[in-house]
């Protein structure tokens, strides 16, 4: 059974905004079984399934549930959906009351917080029996591990990449970025801006994104934050990073005021910039935003900090998790396995949730040209892919947003790098020691 709820607008918020879960850290309602669990298909079970999305995704889930019920007719699935911000507001309320849905679409930024509060079912006992693991590479499975316990199964993956606009590059008379370090990248952006003659710019200031900082730190053998929440950088290293964007902020990049004028869109999907460093699953949204006259994008690897470094990694677009208090853990695990691994899920969802993480689902997915491009891109960066970092620390979203805000102020010229570094470390001290 599929219960519809009216979709609420999925307005952008910081993915890791703090959630008040005080008092929710009680013990798991479903103890881990001693023996390998199995599901009795004759048992009549009702499960609640919650996901974020829109009417299009709801229709896809409707189809997937119908296909699931062909195989498991005794499991009734009551599904509801909301926009992303409202989805997490509702989960917060449910967590406080101890009544989270049996199965939830889950965001990476919230996984640690819910896991450490014992709100999610440990899935390790179900791996390799109810939840198939052969179609999921170990580095993908490891993404859902918090404190040595698997609490989420990725549905799909994405990686950091460089999108380019072929139409604007041709207009500027500049070739595609041929690779190189961050200085080479800055020079290339400068060539685009010069060739555009005021009509558009090469790109935005890469030092305004914490992911580019993480990329450089990983190249150096470090990290943003350890499993224990320790930063892998000091004030001097952050100062160096923000100062590296000075040339872009001094005329090469798009002025911040111009970016403010096109919000909520960005410079890339308004054809005001020719390049954008971001997650590779953003491509479809960019093409939709660009509209008529733009039929393709370039997608290549980001600049290199150190040759041979394993600086890139696969991140889950989303995961599925199970409530620790579910009354039917085996049935819930059966539903998760179907939604992640089944050929039917791959055929139905395609890349709506990102590039399928399961090889079985991916093989059944019909990929449009852009999705195939993303698949080929992720294959092309195999030599740069390292282990994913630990699941984001509690409060990571707050720090990511602070980093972005300070980058905006640097681009406006209303703050110095020295002051920005001081403010970020002050915010970090509050978040890490709360």
| CATH fold group of domain 160-312+391-432 | D-Maltodextrin-Binding Protein; domain 2 (3.40.190)
Name which of 136-140, 177-181, 306-310 the model is least confident about: 136-140
Q: Over the chain, what is the mean pLDDT?
A: 90
What are the boundaries of each domain within the chain?
A: 45-159+316-379, 160-312+391-432
- Strands 275-279 and 315-322, bridge-based pairing: unpaired
| CATH fold group of domain 45-159+316-379 | D-Maltodextrin-Binding Protein; domain 2 (3.40.190)
Neighbours of 253 (CB within 10 A): 27
Residue 96 burial (10 A CB sphere; 0-12, 13-18, 19+): middle
Residue 314 tokens read as 């696969």
Residue 169 burial (10 A CB sphere; 0-12, 13-18, 19+): buried
Confidence of residue 227 (pLDDT cuts 50, 70, 90): confident
- pTM, 2 dp: 0.83
Answer for the pair 152, 131: CB distance below 8 angstroms, yes or no.
Answer: no
Q: How far is it, in rounded angstroms, from Cα 152 to Cα 142? A: 9
Residue 326 tokens read as 């579910």
CA dihedral 239, 240, 244, 247 (to 10 degrees): 60
For residue 206, the 8-state DSSP code is G
Please report the beta strands in 315-392, taking only residues with DSSP state E, as ranges in sequence order. Answer: 315-322, 355-356
Residue 35 has a pLDDT of: 61
Residue 157 tokens read as 């993956």
Neighbours of 258 (CB within 10 A): 15
Neighbours of 329 (CB within 10 A): 27
In the predicted model, is pLDDT for residue 37 greater than 90? no
pLDDT digits (tens, 9 = 90+) for 80-93: 999 988 999 999 99
Q: How far is it, in rounded angstroms, from Cα 196 to Cα 319? A: 41
CA atoms within 13 A on the CB side of 205: 28
pLDDT digits (tens, 9 = 90+) for 239-293: 999 999 999 999 999 999 999 999 989 999 999 999 999 999 889 889 989 998 8
Q: How far is it, in rounded angstroms, from Cα 410 to Cα 412? A: 5
Radius of gyration of the chain (CA): 22
Residue 423, C-beta contacts closer than 8 angstroms, at least 6 positions apart: 402, 406, 415
Residue 42 has a pLDDT of: 82
Q: What average pLDDT does the segment 137-154 reach?
A: 94
* 160-312+391-432 and 45-159+316-379 share a CATH fold: yes
pLDDT digits (tens, 9 = 90+) for 235-244: 999 999 999 9
């Amino acid at each position: 059974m599929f219960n519809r709820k009216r979709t609420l607008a999925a307005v952008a918020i910081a993915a890791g905004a703090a959630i008040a879960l005080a008092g929710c850290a009680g013990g798991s309602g479903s103890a881990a079984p001693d023996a390998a669990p199995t599901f009795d298909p004759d048992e009549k079970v009702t499960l609640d399934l919650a996901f974020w999305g829109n009417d299009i995704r709801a229709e896809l889930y409707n189809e997937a549930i119908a296909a699931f019920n062909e195989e498991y007719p005794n499991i009734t699935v009551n599904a509801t959906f909301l926009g992303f911000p409202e989805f997490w507001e509702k989960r917060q309320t449910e967590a406080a009351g101890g009544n989270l849905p049996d199965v939830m679409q889950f965001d990476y930024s919230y996984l640690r917080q819910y896991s450490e509060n014992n709100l999610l079912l440990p899935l390790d006992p179900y791996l390799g029996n109810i939840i198939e693991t052969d179609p999921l590479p170990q580095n993908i499975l490891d993404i859902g591990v918090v404190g040595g316990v698997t609490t989420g199964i990725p549905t799909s993956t994405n990686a950091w990449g460089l999108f380019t606009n072929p139409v604007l590059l041709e207009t500027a008379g500049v070739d595609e970025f041929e690779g190189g370090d961050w200085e080479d990248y800055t020079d290339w952006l400068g060539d685009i801006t010069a060739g555009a003659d005021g009509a558009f710019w090469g790109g935005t200031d890469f030092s305004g994104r914490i992911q580019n900082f993480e990329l450089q730190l990983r190249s150096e053998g470090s990290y943003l934050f350890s499993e224990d929440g320790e930063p892998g950088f000091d004030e001097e290293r952050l100062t160096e990073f923000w100062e590296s964007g000075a040339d872009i902020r001094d005329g090469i990049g798009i002025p911040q005021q111009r970016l403010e004028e096109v919000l909520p869109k960005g410079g890339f999907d308004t054809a005001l910039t020719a390049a954008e460093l971001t997650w590779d699953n953003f491509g479809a949204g960019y093409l939709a935003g660009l509209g008529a006259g733009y039929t393709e994008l370039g997608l290549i690897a980001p600049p290199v900090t150190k040759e041979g470094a394993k600086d890139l990694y696969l991140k889950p677009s989303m995961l599925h998790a199970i409530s620790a208090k579910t009354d039917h853990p085996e049935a819930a695990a059966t539903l998760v396995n179907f939604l992640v691994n089944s050929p039917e899920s791959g055929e139905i969802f395609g890349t709506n949730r990102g590039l399928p993480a399961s090889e079985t689902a991916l093989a059944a997915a019909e990929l449009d040209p852009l999705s195939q491009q993303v698949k080929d891109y992720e294959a092309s960066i195999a030599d740069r892919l390292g282990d994913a970092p630990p699941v984001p620390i509690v409060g990571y979203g707050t720090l990511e947003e602070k980093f972005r805000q300070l980058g905006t102020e640097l681009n406006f010229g209303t703050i110095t790098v020295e002051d920005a570094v001081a403010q970020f470390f002050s915010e970090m001290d509050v978040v890490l020691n709360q």
